[in-house]
Structure 1
Amino acid sequence: MMRKIEVSPADKPAAIEPGPAPMLQWIDIEQLVVDDSYQRGLQRSNWTAIRRIANGFLWSRFSPVFVAPIEGGKFAIIDGQHRTHAAAICGFEQVPCQVVQMDRQEQAASFATVNGAVTKVTLWNIFKAALTAGAEWAVACDKVCRDADCRLMTSNAPTDAKKAGEIFAIALVRDPVQAGHGASVTLALSGVRRSEFGQDAEAYNNEILKPLIAAVCDRPWLAKAGVDLAPFMDEFDIWAALDRAADFAKRKRREGASGISRYDIAAAEIGEGLDRAFPQRMALPKIGAAA
């Protein structure tokens, strides 16, 4: 879906003094579009930033908009939609642009690369762009979740709008997948998804999944054996384990201990529960084998 640069006349500042214009190639804002398949949507915080740029608009602070030509004589914005919206608010019809020939996949990859180090671009934005670009890590993370009948989300949502099976913690999945524990992540998520416990969206928050995934990844034989974790999730009181872990961490900090993570403590208790429910079967030595 492509959307035009649209602004409200009511947002235009009372006075605009942009300073001298740079000597660059200019493109009509009317010809610039935003590809929502990889670009971030504009939320309230984004519009606050856009209005702030417009209220203090100066060409000396306006870097060229990074664009790529697409069909229909339009140009897709790779980087600079905030600046472009601000220029439109101020009433400018053109902005200076850096034009680079690239296909849509490369556009998404460029967006991820250009914006990866910018703090206002979230990991959801980066994952969305990387997935569109077919980046190996993003495709692998997406598959690991889909194999568990879950979905790794490309944007955040209000708590009351979240649904069971939706995973919002990108790094929680990405890090173990990149470490080679994709099967364990799928096993953990699948166990939650198919349990009664997992019918509630709250079962997929960071508090639950972080220690659970860590405990399962520490026991790779669970994934190799293809165990069913759904009964375990219904029988093991993970909320009580989290409460005990939080209380223990607080007590240790009061005693002067630093670096105590409630997630690590919770993962250890969940791991003990997994060991009891699924004892690892050690390979017996062959008869006649040398001692």
Structure 2
Amino acid sequence: MQINRLFEIVYSLLNKKTLTAKELSERLEVSVRTIYRDIETLSCAGIPVYMRKGKGGGISLLENFVLNKTVLSDTEQNEILTALQTLNVINYPNVDLVISKLGALFNKSNYNWIDVDFSHWGSKDQGSFNLLKTAIVKTRVISFDYFSSYGEKTIRTIEPLQLLFKDKAWYLKSFCLSKQAHRTFKLTRMKNVVISEIVFKRKLPLELVNETTREIKYNESNLKLRLNPCVAYRVYDEFDENEIVKNADGSFEVSVTYPENEWVYGYILSFGSFAEVIEPKHIKDIVIERLEETLKQYKK
């Protein structure tokens, strides 16, 4: 118990800089006399702790003192704190306390430089992300309804292996028990996720660790769009700089290669009257056809 209390005193002083014996005694639930004995023990052990009397006085450590028992370099300490900071996004238990303690032990005050939030604006719902994280960590089989890019619904039972973020979307690498093969699923198409009590032992094969998603393959088209200046915010959010040419009238021409499917037609239509397909012609014709079909719906 004394060793734990001594460590807690050092941590508290690293974090708060100066504390009175009374404050420490209340925090550690021991007498003031015990605190004085602990301070003497720390001093004999070589910890540079000292006491100041009078107003503003208290117990302190020498400035710039850092526990030097760690074998981690300054860069490694920063990397650890950054990694822990990103765990806040999945509501990892007690991570704030761990970050605070390590920040004090490493004598770092600027570790809180990153914030990640998977929820939509105006919402704190992170959907199935936390559920999937739990299933992966606890190696539990899950089942869910899955909707393909064609809108077909299937019921899947899988062993979840790894979450992957790729091109503005989250995916789940897994072993599908019904297909008896590794499969990658897009999180937004997974509905009604349920964690079972079945534990699996399978690991993600090394050759799939850094593999990108393998969804249905489509023919790719080189698409050229003319976009109105009023959607400039989308142009710079959704396209790379080398894909954009700004015209003298303020409009934009965007050249991009996309898989040709219903998604790309819907994506073009999402710009409304602010987008025009320059090429290829067959995609332009398809978009016109979609617009005419939409107009018919309102003329009934």
Between structures 1 and 2, the one with greater helix share: 1
Between structures 1 and 2, the one with greater strand share: 2
Higher relative CO (Cα under 8 Å, sequence separation at least 6) belongs to 1
Larger radius of gyration: 2
Instruction: Bin the TM-score by the shorter chain.
Output: under 0.3
Could you state the TM-score of these two structures normalised by the residue count of structure 2? Answer: 0.27
